[in-house]
Structure 1
Amino acid sequence: MTPSPASSPGTAPLPALSVNALSAPLVAQLIDEAAQLRIAHSRTDEGTVIVDAGVAAPGSIDAGVLVARICMGGLGHVTTRMSAEADPLWPVTIDVRTSSPVLACLGSQYAGWSLSATKEQTGGKKFFSLGSGPARALAGKEDLFTELDYRDHHDCGALVLEVDRMPPHIVIDKIVRDCGLAPDRLTLVITPTHSVAGTVQVVARVVEVALHKTHVLGVDLREIVEGSGSAPLPPPAPEGIQAMGRTNDAILYGGRVHLTVKQDAVARRLAAELPSSNARDYGRPFADIFASFNYDFYQIDAALFAPAEVWVSSLESGATYHGGRVDAALLQAQWGAGSAP
């Protein structure tokens, strides 16, 4: 089945591609290669597949790359590489590119679906996670899908939860219901930030972060034609806040993005306004910033959530504009890249 976006005056619907159909072979690969990827999977009594990519199972970099591709709705290329530079920013880098940047990044990869349950509902601890990936486009619970003029209606779906424990049944039931799926047609992938796979899939959001900042700036998303980016892959951290800090720092201080847009004026503006260095809170490790605001994301200057360095090319003029900078010293200080005695 294919999505059927509704048309509205003054908007151009996203291409009639199904992010869930495109990512389904990747979901099947994740399950089929579970042993090689060092992940585990199980089914609920109702048939929903739960993939453990870092809670009890150790996971792997390869698992994280595949999860990142699923998150992008099958419309993104994600790879790792060793730096060949004499003095690299960091040894291992995540590279991402997509020719459908708005649909891949905002219509699928963006972690915009808030899922929670009280301790009374779970019979234990309260639960909270943000859902990312193609199943978001089935549920359409976010205002963003109205702006994008996009909905998917495929008969199976996958959602990635960045959380350190399995979701309770009440949350699973909600996802199934909101997506309009049979329970056995839903796959949930669990990737804690402090896990190896979780670290990879978060850092692989470097282009998505640029697209979201573009949206926050009020730039017409129809301007964005291509998107590529890279960010250093930090070592996993054993503790959640530290892991969150490292993955955010990788993008905010080490992320590099190249966008291609239609108009020259948009290219100039994005090169000037997109980089994270425009933010009030720029210059400190993210974990320190987070703690200084009592762990409240909404108190942090939203301009901070952006790549460190950008290049923006204009199809109109052929010119490319550059802005921002990488802060290698901050990253290496935080990640312990000292010389062995």
Structure 2
Amino acid sequence: MTATAETPVRLTQFAHGGGCACKIPPGELEDVLGGLTAAPPAAGDTPLLVGLATGDDAAVVALPARGGAAQAVVSTADFFTPVVDDPYDWGRIAAANALSDVYAMGGRPVLAVNLLAWPRDVLPFDLAREVLRGGLEVAAEAGCHVGGGHSVDDPEPKYGMAVTGLADPERLLRNDAGRPGLPLTLTKPLGLGVLNNRHKATGERFAQAVATMVALNRDASVAALAAGASCATDVTGFGLLGHLHKLARASGVTAVVDTAAVPCLDGAREAVRDGYVSGGTRRNLEWVAPHTDFGDTDTGTRLLLADAQTSGGLLVAGEIPGHPVIGELVPRGPHSVILK
């Protein structure tokens, strides 16, 4: 399939998956990463504060003390195939998603570089320019410099960013810092995956999904730190259930979720009902099933809770003004997640 001036380009048709639903399944990824450790630098004065151990959102290293306030560097990378047909919107979404990992650690993004894979003989470069323009505008909104990047000729288009941020090493948001008694707050509604999948299949455009995905998690991160939170993660390709499981497992607690309190986008339940569920979402549900007490939760709700989100919200162990509390952390039981 080659795009021409006479043929309207639907970018989602050039990708086998869409957005964070194209991630390697969590179970397979953990098998790959299992046992991989890196030896610390021989004479390092920059200790690694967050690495591979708990599968957190980004790596964090402490900077050497040179007087003044302590600082840490937050480092992450995220890129994916087209999640929407509009190249400018795809660029905005991918940038917001990449920046989110820094916000999920309690950091402030300061520098990003573009990661672009492009089928140069198939898709015109003016579309790539629109993708990059969208990413540049969202980075500017975040107050983050974009200093170049890297591109490759690839049969499938992909875009994202590698992002560097700064954080206070004493005020990080980590996925292993949860403790019993803390409420769970979710800062964006679910349903992005099924709406994006419907968009890919039918061409229908869901403005509410695009607006949610391009929204930065900056304010939610600042509010979480102001509220004294120390535990958070962002909800992306592994779905709410997958990220809850990882957080509960890393923190040695159980997460109890009030399913009726979980916000969903307009049209999301209808998209599940009509079968617009990605393979990534089904794999998420399969992965968390042994660790989850589903109670009498219906299949549609289970699929929404496992829905592979792209540029989703923050899941914070703490109460954040203006956002719904969807559950709480309790002492560790037989399951890492319990649905009520």
By relative contact order (CA 8 Å, sep 6+), the higher-ranking structure is 2
Where is the helix percentage greater, Structure 1 or Structure 2? 1
Q: Same fold (TM over 0.5)?
A: no
TM-score, normalisation: structure 2: 0.29
TM-score, normalisation: structure 1: 0.29
